[in-house]
Amino acid sequence: IQHVIVFANVLRDRLRHQTANPTELIQTSGMSQQAITQLYQQANAPQYTLSLIQWELMQALKEGEISDIIYTQMNQHVTELSLVQTGCDRIATTPLPFAYSVLLNRTVYFFCFMLPFSLGSTLGLATPLLVGILAYTFLGLDALSSEIEEPFGTQSNDLPLDAMVRTIEIELLGTLGKPTPPPIQAQDNNLL
């Protein structure tokens, strides 16, 4: 279970392109300083962690601590975690195409520039109000397209990965009967 906690932490760090505080990871996972150092020397720390889990499962099977049915089920869960990592890596490393960004941006600005000319004769003095509302909406959608490109960051509108990882830590440590860290509280109505 400690390796699943480590997996959640190192996957978050990989998606955010940062390195976690090893002291905090040692406290929550119970792993040694040497194991954590070796973990961060790997090119793909989440995948390395999953391989450690698979190795421990294989050892438990060889020593008769678990049955082959339990091993198969647990190994399937590890495979699913690997698929989760692959999907998250794909999202994190696939940018919006440059042509899409440019075309969307220029189309929005051109539309907002030309809109008053087409509505002026119909709406009269209400044209600036309607054009302002429509321009605000379309420019907001344009800004939104650039925000969804990086969902794993630390801005207020990104996914609350820290809170998700803390929830995993609390639940797993709770099942082991170990002390759990406090949940992450929202700051300015946002979780990170």
pLDDT in tens, 56-85: 999 999 999 999 999 999 999 999 999 999
C-alpha to C-alpha distance for 4 and 78, rounded to whole angstroms: 9
Q: What percent of the chain has pLDDT over 90?
A: 35
**Is this model's pTM higher than 0.75 or not?**
yes
With beta carbons less than 8 A apart as the criterion, state whether 7 and 81 touch: yes
Cβ–Cβ < 8 Å for 9, 28: yes
Span 100-137, pLDDT tens digits: 778 888 888 898 889 888 888 888 888 889 989 999 99
Helix axes 68-93, 2-16, angle to 10 degrees: 10
The vertex-72 CA angle with 171 and 52, nearest 5°, equals: 60
